[in-house]
Amino acid sequence: MKNRDRKKKLVGPWRNIHGAVWLIGLAILAWRDWWWPGILVLIAASGIVEALIMQFAPNSFEEENEAPSSPPSPLSPPPAPVKASPPVVEHRPELLPSNCQKCGAPIRGHEVKWTGTQSADCPYCGANLPMEKS
């Protein structure tokens, strides 16, 4: 099967909207007892909703895998996408001053707001803390 021939499926909340169209449509068909041409109208409405979603939210589709390992449970949430882990940022708390120069508050490495690998702000007044030379 070529890449362009692969089926794309809805993901996230867009899948729920598509499912809601079908559930509401079937409920109306059962309520009005209008099964025979009604199912064709429902199929057309479903296609129109899917085309509108594709036009206004192009990222709402993902390519379907060729062979799923196991069928997903309807009650379990979809698996989270695998993201590359960010590089480890090494903070250097030993370079922090013992007290803030602006407000005089004691500085602890786990309380400051780190703004870079060797840059931090005071947790009390927000002043940028000068790092000591290593």
- Do the Cβ atoms of 91 and 84 come closer than 8 Å? no
Res. 16 pLDDT band, cuts 50 70 90:
confident
| Whole-number Cα distances in Å, 85 to 21, 81, 118 | 38, 12, 21
Residue 71, domain member (yes or no): no
Mean pLDDT of 1-15: 61
Same domain, 50 and 93: no
Same domain, 7 and 54: yes
Domain containing 10 equals 3-63
Residue 84, domain member (yes or no): no
How high is the pLDDT of residue 78?
67
Same domain, 16 and 59: yes
Residue 78, domain member (yes or no): no
Res. 69 pLDDT band, cuts 50 70 90:
low
Q: Distance between CA atoms of 9 and 77, rounded to whole angstroms?
A: 16
pLDDT, tens digit, 9 for 90 and up, residues 18-60 = 778 888 888 888 888 878 888 888 888 888 887 787 777 666 6
Residue 77, domain member (yes or no): no
Residue 105, domain member (yes or no): yes
Residue 76, domain member (yes or no): no
Res. 11 pLDDT band, cuts 50 70 90:
low
Same domain, 93 and 56: no
Higher pLDDT, 13 or 51: 51
Q: Which residues contact 22 (CB under 8 A, 6 or more apart)?
A: 42, 46
Same domain, 16 and 58: yes
Residue 70, domain member (yes or no): no
Residue where one domain finishes, among candidates 47, 63, 79: 63
How high is the pLDDT of residue 3?
52
| Domains held by the chain: number | 2
How high is the pLDDT of residue 116?
79
- Do the Cβ atoms of 117 and 90 come closer than 8 Å? yes
pLDDT, tens digit, 9 for 90 and up, residues 77-132 = 766 777 766 666 677 788 888 888 889 888 888 888 888 777 888 888 988 888 87
Tell me the whole-structure pTM to 2 decimals: 0.37
Q: Which residues contact 101 (CB under 8 A, 6 or more apart)?
A: 127, 129, 130
Tokens of 101: 């120069």
Phi–psi pair at 120, nearest 5 degrees: -145, 160
Residue 130, domain member (yes or no): yes
